[in-house]
Amino acid sequence: MGLQKTSVSLVPANTGKEPEHITSPFGWWQDAWSYQIDTWQRSILFMDTLRQRAGNMMEHEKNGMPPLLDFKYELVMDARTFERPANYALLKITKVGDKCLEDCLDPNKPPVIIVDPRAGHGPGIGGFKRDSEVGIAMHEGYPVYFVMFYPEPMPHQSIADVLHALRKFVEEAKKLHSNKAPILYGNCQAGWMLTILAADCQGLVGPVVTNGSPLSYWANSEEGNPMQIMGSLSGGVWLARLFADLGNGELDGAWLVQNFEKLNPANTLWDKNYNLYSNIDTERERFLDFERWWNGYYRLSEEEITSTVANLFIGDKLERGELKLHEDCVVNLKNIKSPMLIFASEGDNITPPRQALHWIRQVYPATKDLKTAGQRIAYLINTHVGHLGIFVSAKVATLEHRAILEHISKLEAMKPGLYQMIIDNPTGNPDCRHDQYNVSFEERKIEDLCQSEPTTPFKKIREVSERNDQIYKATMRPWVQIFTNPLTAKVMRELHPMRFNKKIFSEQLNPFMWNVAWMAKIVSNNRLKAREDNVFEQAEHTASQQVAKFLDAYKENRDMILKGWFTALYDK
């Protein structure tokens, strides 16, 4: 084999310059030498990034885990002081950088209230960066409010308590803006919470936008939904009650985040870390910013999590009009008079479009029923973005969320019916100018909306869940509660794999990491980077792809086996 010209690159990592490539005639030997240096340096920088992540995580916890918003804000209301307390608060967004909200505010527009999901993580993903829901709403001239929540729930906090707090927030925002009904913007779990609020508060709220929010928990397709099937095979609500009891009355959000990570083992076990390792010179800060949010685990009360699992995930009572908040209040989605816009994605394996949309068929069996009720519902479908991408992707924010906020008033003015929101963007650039893309609302028939497979298996699952919960409460629960207290709950949280496998890289727990810290400084100032056409670099990428494919194959086989168990247990 002939000799090839290859090169190494030398550049101080903190200069922001492109590495300088130095060609060499030594072919494969030079490739091997430069790759060896490069991969050793990347390993040091990778370990140092994990060290920094652990430090960020511990510092964030020490500071009380405040919302990770890229905007300045002021506190308007704290629901912990209410007669019916809840661990929520209403914030008013005041500045982005040095720019005040008043600089771009349109006084004729209603306020927008953005609510992040409370599903294990903390608040902030809706305003994580400038190109976000919060940033786009500000750019469009809306007064922007953000609903945050604190790490610990109030004692025995219930869903009804949270809804009471949200109602107070909406009333306050409306009062502060000349009685204009606010636009409610809910991500994932917050979407179904705001939908319940809209059904209970007629005339109080304006349009409701739900992003990746499940409302039809039994809606399913022939291929099955892995999250749905995993939950079904766990035995129901008793497991959530057990972990809440082990947490001394609170469920550690790390358990919920762990369930999310199990859905995509290739990303969890390999792709995310390899992407950092292979692009360590450019990905470090983005990785650390996201991980600060991803690893901030918040808690839910036992009342909240068991009610959510029993009544929604297992019971599917919301779309069937059976969800009882208290003795005198049963939620009926037909009571919603505010226009609704539902944003879902075909790439979302947490809330696929069926679970976001099928409730419309359940509540309004025919199009004429929707029109007779005087309701306007629109839906927007992205073809590929994943669940988190719906509310964190800058590309989605600058196109879909901008289009939603620019055209939500048009939906309010339309005649009753079901519409699909279509965004035509011939440029392909999500950050295109206003005159470069077009939005239309095309009328659809409810009868043509996505159908669901028979729900008989889920009725059996509900029966099994209720029976298992009764058995647990009568047998195991008294013993579990005897041996749990605040100390045991804290120890369990600290030893949870989702925390421990990250904090172990902190120099506070692992003295070896002190060596990594000083070595990383030397490497950063003397960075030698192999060229992209380095044969060993290319072999590394190929090997990485094979690992990811193997894990994807494992996931597909795992899901197929679980689907088989599900069918054998409940569908026969």
3-state secondary structure string, 379-433? EEEECCCCCCHHHHCHHHHHHHHHHHHHHHHHHHHCCCEEEEEEEECCCCCCCCC
Sheet holding 6-10, edge to edge: 20-24, 6-10, 528-530
What pLDDT score does 102 carry?
Answer: 65
Q: Residue 539 in 3-state DSSP?
A: helix
Domain boundaries, the chain: 6-64+499-570, 76-218+316-453
Cα–Cα distance for residue pair 232/226, rounded to 1 Å = 10
What pLDDT score does 222 carry?
Answer: 63
Tokens standing for 418? 């079901």
Phi, psi of 89 (to 5 degrees): -150, 150
Which residue numbers in the chain have pLDDT < 70? 1-26, 97-103, 201-203, 221-224, 426-435, 452-454, 572
pTM of the model: 0.90
What pLDDT score does 433 carry?
Answer: 59
Please spell the DSSP secondary structure of 142-168, one letter per residue: --EEEEEE-SSPPTT--HHHHHHHHHH
SS3 readout for 289-341: HHHHHHCCECEEEHHHHHHHHHHHHHCCCCCCCCCEEECCEECCHHHCCCCEE
What pLDDT score does 499 carry?
Answer: 97
What pLDDT score does 1 carry?
Answer: 39
What pLDDT score does 256 carry?
Answer: 96
What pLDDT score does 291 carry?
Answer: 96
What pLDDT score does 450 carry?
Answer: 74
What top-level class would CATH report for the domain 76-218+316-453? alpha beta
What pLDDT score does 25 carry?
Answer: 57
What pLDDT score does 3 carry?
Answer: 39
What pLDDT score does 99 carry?
Answer: 60
Q: Are 254 and 120 in contact (CB under 8 A)?
A: yes
- How far are the Cα atoms of 113, 152, 184, 197, 340 from residue 191, in angstroms, in the given order? 12, 21, 9, 10, 11
Please spell the DSSP secondary structure of 269-283, one letter per residue: IIIHHHHHHHTHHHH
Q: Are 345 and 384 in contact (CB under 8 A)?
A: yes
